[in-house]
Amino acid sequence: MTKTVEIYDTTLRDGTQQEGISLTPKDKLAICRLLDNLGVAYIEGGWPGANPKEDDFFARARDELDLSTAKLVAFGSTRHKGITAEDDEQVNNLLEAKTDTVCLVGKTWDYHVEHALRTSLDEAVAMVADTVAFFRSEGREVFFDAEHFFDGYRSNPDFAVAVLQAAHDAGAARLVMCDTNGGFLDHEVERIVGEVTERVSDGTFGCHFHNDSGMAVGNSLTAVRNGVYQVQGCVNGYGERTGNADLCTVIPNLSLKMGYETIPEDNLGRLTHISHNVADVINLTLDPHLPYVGSSAFTHKAGLHTSALARRPDAYEHLAPSAVGNRTRVVVSELAGRSTVLAKAKETGLELTDEQAQDVVDTIKEKEHLGFQYETADGSFELLAREASGWTQSFFTLESYRVFVERRDGDVVAEATVKVLVDSERIVSTREGDGPVSALDRALRAALRDRYPQVDGIKLTDYRVRDLDSSDGTSARVRVLTEHADAETSWGSVGVHQDIIDASWTAVSEGLVMGLVRNAERA
Ligand SMILES: [Zn+2]
């Protein structure tokens, strides 16, 4: 029988504690749909009553969300000291969210009970037991998040266990051991989880780890090996400080390496896509070095390595990237040999001869010496590889460009004129922009638009400039890296020159050419 681990996502509640993350109800609904598509068991939606946005989200979730596998959970605290659960305003807010499942957080560290709650240990136990019992009497499934559980167990194990036992006796379906400060290491987790699961022998346990010691994923796996059934965490490891356990690492580790069923097996291939989509909704650039789902997770650079990789991928990759929906990438650099160039060209559908590949290697070495860099400029690389195979771009020929920049009444206005030949027709176009690069970009697009209306579907999505040191007494150069995208894909290009405008021209015009190439290939 396959062992199962229940995946509980808290991206929308704990994940949004990360600085820089602020989600609208609409964003949250979009993320719920993505998580449901991934197939997690539970989605913690937020803290009802915390602010009007949270209540709006739960109201809209009831009307608009039609989840197929996941269940939505509302999160809240146990009752305050000295009153009944029925009379507690925040308990009622939580009830009003009308979710089938609620997750209650309560204190299990005596130090917090004494100094934060300022009440007796007996009252702290009662606060948990009463609130769990109240939600059970309202027909809700109840999970209990034992806040600071590991610190609490270290300080006063009998009290920490008494709280869990009380939650369990009152009807909590999961007893979730939280490392709220995130400082525990796996050997301690192993011991504590082992002891607790024995002491509350008929409980069903969960875990919730923060990554302050870099151990959140590892501790989650250790907890599972010692009897924990539910793992809480966030997509891409979002969360306060150093983040929560990254579900995009936890899930494949459990499913593909430890033999547990987590999300439905057929959905594992969606992991990379969902991770990137959630990052898009949250509007944060995804860390390329994230395990499994990062764009660099299966990227190879060294030359020797890549030639062997082409023959035996399993010798250099810990698992097939397709298992999690990612792919192998080869980046070219002066370190690379012919085999890297051949592999990279093949990725874009180009078959080069050994001789042509050697020409590309030689050109790259020369250009990298000048400051070009092809690791992210895959579009410029592809143009080089195509040229080595005898291809020339026939979309346009540049006759000349010029740019004026004028400061007028405190505003800067740039004007660019581009003269090109398109199918032997000479086209002169002039456009303004709020800077010289945007003016040039607009003028070139205007010149091409009649013949190639598809230029409007090619967007310039990123533009970066870097000063390069002048080491040999020549004047300093700048490197411009751009990224373009159309509805299907994205690509990078690079330009280097002493003059920033000319470096920009190279990068921007190559990006546009590459877009036209991709478009023509699909047509
Ligand atoms: Zn947390």
- pLDDT (tens digit per residue) in 174-225: 999 999 999 999 999 999 999 999 999 999 999 999 999 999 999 999 999 9
Which pLDDT score, from 0 to 100, does residue 329 have?
80
Which pLDDT score, from 0 to 100, does residue 472 have?
56
**Average pLDDT of the segment spanning 309-331:** 86
Q: Cβ distance 240 to 229 under 8 Å?
A: no
- Please state, in angstroms and rounded to a whole number, the distance separating the CA atoms of residues 467 and 477: 6
**Average pLDDT of the segment spanning 386-399:** 94
The yes-or-no verdict on residue 80 having pLDDT over 90 is yes
- 252 CA distance to ligand 1 middle (Å): 21
pLDDT tens figures, 447-473? 999 999 999 999 998 898 988 876 555
The CATH number linked to 338 is 1.10.238
pLDDT tens figures, 144-179? 999 999 999 999 999 999 999 999 999 999 999 999
- Domain shared by 327 and 415, yes or no: no
Which pLDDT score, from 0 to 100, does residue 284 have?
82
Q: Which of 257, 282, 307 is the last residue of a domain?
A: 282
- 373 CA distance to ligand 1 middle (Å): 41
- 182 CA distance to ligand 1 middle (Å): 9
- 317 CA distance to ligand 1 middle (Å): 32
Which pLDDT score, from 0 to 100, does residue 333 have?
66
Q: Count of domains in the chain? A: 3
- 368 CA distance to ligand 1 middle (Å): 46
Mapped to the 3 state alphabet, what secondary structure does 414-457 carry?
EEEEEEEEECCEEEEEEEEECCHHHHHHHHHHHHHHCCCHHHHH
The yes-or-no verdict on residue 115 having pLDDT over 80 is yes
- 208 CA distance to ligand 1 middle (Å): 7
Which pLDDT score, from 0 to 100, does residue 344 have?
83
Q: Which of 351, 368, 388 is the last residue of a domain?
A: 388
- Give start and end residues of each alpha helix (H) in 65-174: 89-96, 110-112, 121-137, 149-155, 157-170
Structure tokens at 424: 């032997």
- Domain shared by 90 and 193, yes or no: yes
pLDDT band at 306, cuts 50/70/90?
A: low
The yes-or-no verdict on residue 512 having pLDDT over 70 is yes
The yes-or-no verdict on residue 318 having pLDDT over 70 is yes
Asked whether residue 363 is assigned to any structural domain, the reply reads yes
- Domain shared by 303 and 277, yes or no: no
Asked whether residue 474 is assigned to any structural domain, the reply reads no
- 14 CA distance to ligand 1 middle (Å): 5
- What is the three-class DSSP state of 496? strand
Interstrand relation of 6-9 and 42-46 (parallel, antiparallel or unpaired)? parallel
**Residue span of the structural domain in which 415 resides:** 396-451
- 210 CA distance to ligand 1 middle (Å): 6
- 146 CA distance to ligand 1 middle (Å): 10
- 232 CA distance to ligand 1 middle (Å): 9
The yes-or-no verdict on residue 474 having pLDDT over 90 is no
The yes-or-no verdict on residue 90 having pLDDT over 90 is yes
- Domain shared by 185 and 277, yes or no: yes
- 261 CA distance to ligand 1 middle (Å): 24
**Average pLDDT of the segment spanning 233-246:** 98
Asked whether residue 498 is assigned to any structural domain, the reply reads no
Q: Which of 372, 388, 404 is the last residue of a domain?
A: 388
Helix (H) or strand (E) holding 187: helix 186-199
Asked whether residue 143 is assigned to any structural domain, the reply reads yes
**Average pLDDT of the segment spanning 355-377:** 88
- 244 CA distance to ligand 1 middle (Å): 7
What pTM was estimated for this model as a whole? Answer: 0.77
Which pLDDT score, from 0 to 100, does residue 450 have?
95
The CATH number linked to 408 is 3.30.160.270
Which pLDDT score, from 0 to 100, does residue 466 have?
85
- 180 CA distance to ligand 1 middle (Å): 5
* Residue 381 burial class via C-beta count within 10 angstroms: exposed 0-12, middle 13-18, buried 19 and up: buried
Which pLDDT score, from 0 to 100, does residue 376 have?
80
- 13 CA distance to ligand 1 middle (Å): 9
Q: What percent of the chain has pLDDT over 70?
A: 96
Which pLDDT score, from 0 to 100, does residue 328 have?
86
Q: Which residues line ion ligand 1, judged by CB < 5 Å?
A: 14
Which pLDDT score, from 0 to 100, does residue 304 have?
61
- 159 CA distance to ligand 1 middle (Å): 21
- 221 CA distance to ligand 1 middle (Å): 17
Interstrand relation of 6-9 and 397-408 (parallel, antiparallel or unpaired)? unpaired
- Domain shared by 108 and 257, yes or no: yes
- 348 CA distance to ligand 1 middle (Å): 43
**Average pLDDT of the segment spanning 108-113:** 93
- Domain shared by 210 and 349, yes or no: no
Which pLDDT score, from 0 to 100, does residue 471 have?
57
Which pLDDT score, from 0 to 100, does residue 462 have?
87
The yes-or-no verdict on residue 309 having pLDDT over 90 is no
- Domain shared by 400 and 383, yes or no: no
- Domain shared by 227 and 369, yes or no: no
pLDDT tens figures, 2-20? 799 999 999 999 999 999 8
The yes-or-no verdict on residue 311 having pLDDT over 80 is no
- 147 CA distance to ligand 1 middle (Å): 8
- Directed axis angle between helix 354-370 and helix 338-347, to 10°? 100
pLDDT tens figures, 256-302? 999 999 999 999 999 999 998 899 888 887 898 999 999 899 988 76
pLDDT tens figures, 322-342? 999 998 887 776 566 788 888
- 90 CA distance to ligand 1 middle (Å): 19
Asked whether residue 238 is assigned to any structural domain, the reply reads yes
The strand pairing partners of 484, in sequence order, are 460, 491
**Average pLDDT of the segment spanning 303-320:** 78
Which pLDDT score, from 0 to 100, does residue 93 have?
95
DSSP string, 299-321: EE--HHHHHHHHH-GGGT-SS-G
- 55 CA distance to ligand 1 middle (Å): 21
- What is the three-class DSSP state of 298? coil
Higher pLDDT, 250 or 283: 250
The CATH number linked to 124 is 3.20.20.70
**Average pLDDT of the segment spanning 419-441:** 95
pLDDT tens figures, 126-135? 999 999 999 9
Which pLDDT score, from 0 to 100, does residue 508 have?
97
